[in-house]
């Protein structure tokens, strides 16, 4: 599978394909023409004597320090001097997502990177040489400290993974039949000064959340069947009366899953618990937040956020604040809150399903009764998952201090906002698996009930992986199977 950069906008799905399926990246010829033009503009402006940040000046607090000698050597120094990240190393797939994200951003032509260095980065990705990158060291004003590991590997320093083994980067390059890159003026800064870590991880998080959201919809629909929900709440006129963002569409999706259900002919409660009755509005808010996060990521993937920026058409090089990502951080903070809200509703439905007798269901969803624990112990797991999700949902984008002698007196914390949202998705997936398991059990305990076309399919999906609970047994393995299948389905 090949993905071509330059034939259209790069998407979150493209980044996931590169990161997880080792898709080969090809570059459209016009991209190289654009890179060459940008480089020519940069060289021309530099030759005029203009001060260009990171080319003939220092960075951050050293902004007013001129670099007049060994400008090329300064780029090596710049890369080495930012190698100060700590924490666990990024996973292989996340590292690939970061590399692909930076490559995509560079194709816009705003960095002025040497075409040969751009090609070296492309080869590093396609030959599957992966820098060992730390996870902590960025506050969202560009990911320079983290991306220095990428640039170091490109020049043959630091460590890199190749074919499952970590080597000194120079050795990894040699094994992959690559040579260390020779950085020209501004090339080091071009590799570092971007939010590629936030964007790469954000792309994967968006793809994961989109897939998981479908399972959340199905779990909610199956709970609707198990709890005997009133489908009149999905009446289109009700949704149109207060058309909150995404609500009409989510009601339609839930109604489609319940199409053909015996619920439409059954005598139902006038009003169900809010975790059932308000599914369209809860899911609508999540759908809107998820689309906003996807949009924010795809803006970054297809934009030049470099500082300074080469403006090819005007033949100018100007300093910018485009590396700053408040909109991206806010989108993922909002997505995290929307996930937490949907997860809370999922947990509430689980408690309704597994508590004392309701809507004809036996207590604790156990068919044998007596001292059987049934699903009641799993309530603790569900509440623990929800607590962890709610903890992660707490905003962080305002948690910063001025750094670099006050030059960088504002930050967005976008890497942390994105990474905690990705953690929430993993927790949410386990919670959805719990709801699916309980809802399937509830349907089994209503043998005369006929499910809708969509809910029948999801019930079969659950039962292919987990048998109905009769006598008490451990359910951890069943949940693990569900989680795995939800990821790989």
Q: For residue 379, what are the CA distances in angstroms to 222, 254, 349?
A: 18, 25, 11
Question: Quick one: 151 and 275 in the same domain?
Answer: no
Question: Quick one: 165 and 267 in the same domain?
Answer: no
Q: Read off the pLDDT of residues 214-267 as tens digits, 9 standing for 90 and up.
A: 999 999 999 999 999 999 999 999 999 999 999 999 999 999 999 999 999 988
Reading the block at residue 1, the tokens are: 């599978």
Q: Which helix or strand (DSSP H or E) is residue 129 part of? A: strand 129-131
pLDDT at residue 14 tops 60:
yes
| H-only helix segments in 48-114 | 71-81, 92-106
Q: What is the pLDDT of residue 51?
A: 76
pTM of the model: 0.95
3-state secondary structure of 458: helix
Q: How confident is the prediction for the chain on average, in pLDDT?
A: 93
Q: What average pLDDT score do residues 193-219 get?
A: 97
Q: For residue 47, what are the CA distances in angstroms to 44, 58, 68, 185?
A: 5, 18, 12, 11
- In order, the DSSP letters of 312-347 are TTTTEEE---TTB-HHHHHHHHHHHHHHHHHHHHHH
- The answer to whether 431 touches 466, Cβ cutoff 8 Å, is no
Backbone angles phi, psi at 76, to 5 degrees: -65, -45
pLDDT at residue 269 tops 90:
no
String of b and e for 165-194 (b: at least 16 CB within 10 Å)? eebebbebbeebebeebebbbbbbbbbbbb
Question: Quick one: 255 and 162 in the same domain?
Answer: no
Smallest Cα–Cα separation from 220: which of 271, 173, 276, 169? 276
Question: Quick one: 291 and 175 in the same domain?
Answer: no
Question: Quick one: 107 and 188 in the same domain?
Answer: yes
Of 136, 161, 194, the residue at which a domain comes to its end is 194
Which CATH number fits the domain that encloses residue 462? 1.20.200.10
3-state secondary structure of 25: strand
Rounded CA-CA distance 70/75 in Å is 9
- The count of domains in the chain is 2
pLDDT at residue 49 tops 60:
yes
The residue whose two tokens read 């080469």 is 310
The residue whose two tokens read 């390059």 is 173
Q: What is the pLDDT of residue 259?
A: 97
Question: Quick one: 142 and 218 in the same domain?
Answer: no
pLDDT at residue 357 tops 70:
no
Rounded CA-CA distance 256/455 in Å is 9
Q: What average pLDDT score do residues 310-336 get?
A: 93
Q: What average pLDDT score do residues 332-355 get?
A: 97
Question: Quick one: 154 and 221 in the same domain?
Answer: no
Where is pLDDT greater, at 304 or 70? 304
pLDDT at residue 358 tops 70:
no
Of 194, 216, 240, the residue at which a domain comes to its end is 194
Q: What is the pLDDT of residue 55?
A: 66
Reading the block at residue 321, the tokens are: 């604040």
**Backbone Cα Rg of the chain:** 26
Q: What average pLDDT score do residues 25-42 get?
A: 95
Between vectors from CA 8 to CA 3 and to CA 11, what angle results, nearest 5°? 65
Rounded CA-CA distance 297/281 in Å is 25
Sign (positive/negative) of CA torsion 182, 185, 189, 190?
negative
Q: What is the pLDDT of residue 71?
A: 66
Rounded CA-CA distance 461/482 in Å is 9
Q: For residue 353, what are the CA distances in angstroms to 97, 144, 341, 390, 438?
A: 40, 49, 19, 22, 7
Question: Quick one: 166 and 207 in the same domain?
Answer: no
Rounded CA-CA distance 476/357 in Å is 24
Q: What average pLDDT score do residues 68-97 get?
A: 85
Backbone angles phi, psi at 464, to 5 degrees: -70, -20
Q: What is the pLDDT of residue 53?
A: 67
Q: What is the pLDDT of residue 368?
A: 85
pLDDT at residue 62 tops 70:
no
pLDDT at residue 63 tops 80:
no
Q: Read off the pLDDT of residues 387-426 as tens digits, 9 standing for 90 and up.
A: 999 999 999 988 888 887 777 788 899 999 999 999 999 9
Rounded CA-CA distance 465/446 in Å is 20
Rounded CA-CA distance 202/156 in Å is 28
Q: Read off the pLDDT of residues 430-454 as tens digits, 9 standing for 90 and up.
A: 999 999 999 999 999 999 999 999 9
Residue 447 CA, chain-centre distance (Å), reads 40
Question: Quick one: 8 and 123 in the same domain?
Answer: yes
Q: What average pLDDT score do residues 196-215 get?
A: 98
pLDDT at residue 61 tops 60:
no
Which CATH number fits the domain that encloses residue 107? 1.10.275.10
Dihedral angle over CA of 115, 121, 125, 131, nearest 10: 180
Of 136, 163, 194, the residue at which a domain comes to its end is 194
Q: Which of 27-41, 91-105, 185-199 has the lowest mean pLDDT?
A: 185-199
- The answer to whether 166 touches 380, Cβ cutoff 8 Å, is no
Q: What is the pLDDT of residue 54?
A: 64
Q: What is the pLDDT of residue 470?
A: 94
pLDDT at residue 483 tops 70:
yes
pLDDT at residue 50 tops 90:
no
Question: Quick one: 88 and 176 in the same domain?
Answer: yes
Question: Quick one: 187 and 246 in the same domain?
Answer: no
What share of the chain in percent tops pLDDT 90? Answer: 77
Range of the domain at 41: 2-194
Residue 458 CA, chain-centre distance (Å), reads 25
Where is pLDDT greater, at 434 or 187? 434
pLDDT at residue 92 tops 80:
yes
Question: Quick one: 160 and 297 in the same domain?
Answer: no
Where is pLDDT greater, at 80 or 303? 303
- The answer to whether 304 touches 322, Cβ cutoff 8 Å, is yes
Q: What is the pLDDT of residue 47?
A: 82
Query: Roughly what angle, to the nearest 10 degrees, separates helices 71-81 and 144-154?
Result: 120
Reading the block at residue 181, the tokens are: 């890159």
Rounded CA-CA distance 26/3 in Å is 6
């Amino acid at each position: 599978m090949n993905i071509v950069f330059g034939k259209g906008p790069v998407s979150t799905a493209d980044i996931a394909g590169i990161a997880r399926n080792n898709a080969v990246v090809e570059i459209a010829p016009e991209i190289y023409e654009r890179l060459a033009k940008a480089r020519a503009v940069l060289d021309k402006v530099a030759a005029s004597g203009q001060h260009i940040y990171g080319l003939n000046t220092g960075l951050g607090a050293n902004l007013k320090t001129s670099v007049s000698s060994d400008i090329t050597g300064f780029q090596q120094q710049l890369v080495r001097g930012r190698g100060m990240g700590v924490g666990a190393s990024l996973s292989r797939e996340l590292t690939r997502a970061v590399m692909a994200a930076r490559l995509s951003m560079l194709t816009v032509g705003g960095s002025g990177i040497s075409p040969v260095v751009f090609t070296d980065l492309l080869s590093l990705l396609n030959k599957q040489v992966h820098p060992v990158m730390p996870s902590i060291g960025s506050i969202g004003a560009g990911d320079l400290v983290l991306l220095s590991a990428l640039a170091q590997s490109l020049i043959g320093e630091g460590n890199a993974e190749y074919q499952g083994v970590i080597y000194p980067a120079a050795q990894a390059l040699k094994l992959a039949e690559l040579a260390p890159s020779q950085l020209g003026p501004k090339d080091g800064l071009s590799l570092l000064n971007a939010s590629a870590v936030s964007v790469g991880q954000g792309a994967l998080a968006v793809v994961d959340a989109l897939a998981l959201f479908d399972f959340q919809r199905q779990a909610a629909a199956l709970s609707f069947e198990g709890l005997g929900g009133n489908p009149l709440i999905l009446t289109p006129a009700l949704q149109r009366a207060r058309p909150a963002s995404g609500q009409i569409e989510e009601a339609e999706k839930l109604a489609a899953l319940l199409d053909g259900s015996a619920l439409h002919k059954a005598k139902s409660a006038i009003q169900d618990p809010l975790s059932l009755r308000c599914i369209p509005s809860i899911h609508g808010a999540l759908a809107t937040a998820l689309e906003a996060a996807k949009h924010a990521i795809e803006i970054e993937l297809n934009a030049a956020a470099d500082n300074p920026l080469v403006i090819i058409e005007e033949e100018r090089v100007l300093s910018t604040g485009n590396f700053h990502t408040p909109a991206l951080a806010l989108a993922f903070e909002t997505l995290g809150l929307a996930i937490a809200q949907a997860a809370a509703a999922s947990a509430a439905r689980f408690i309704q399903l597994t508590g004392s007798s309701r809507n004809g269901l036996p207590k604790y969803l156990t068919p044998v009764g007596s001292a059987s624990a049934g699903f009641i112990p799993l309530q603790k797991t569900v509440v623990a998952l929800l607590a962890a999700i709610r903890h992660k949902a707490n905003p962080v984008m305002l948690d910063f201090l001025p750094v670099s002698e006050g030059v960088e007196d504002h930050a967005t914390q976008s890497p942390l906002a994105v990474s905690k949202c990705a953690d929430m998705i993993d927790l949410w997936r386990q919670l959805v698996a719990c709801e699916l398991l309980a809802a399937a059990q509830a349907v089994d305990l209503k043998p005369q009930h006929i499910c809708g076309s969509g809910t029948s399919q999801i019930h079969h999906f659950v039962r292919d992986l987990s048998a109905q609970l009769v006598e008490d047994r451990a359910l951890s393995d069943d949940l693990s199977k569900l989680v795995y299948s939800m990821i790989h389905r």
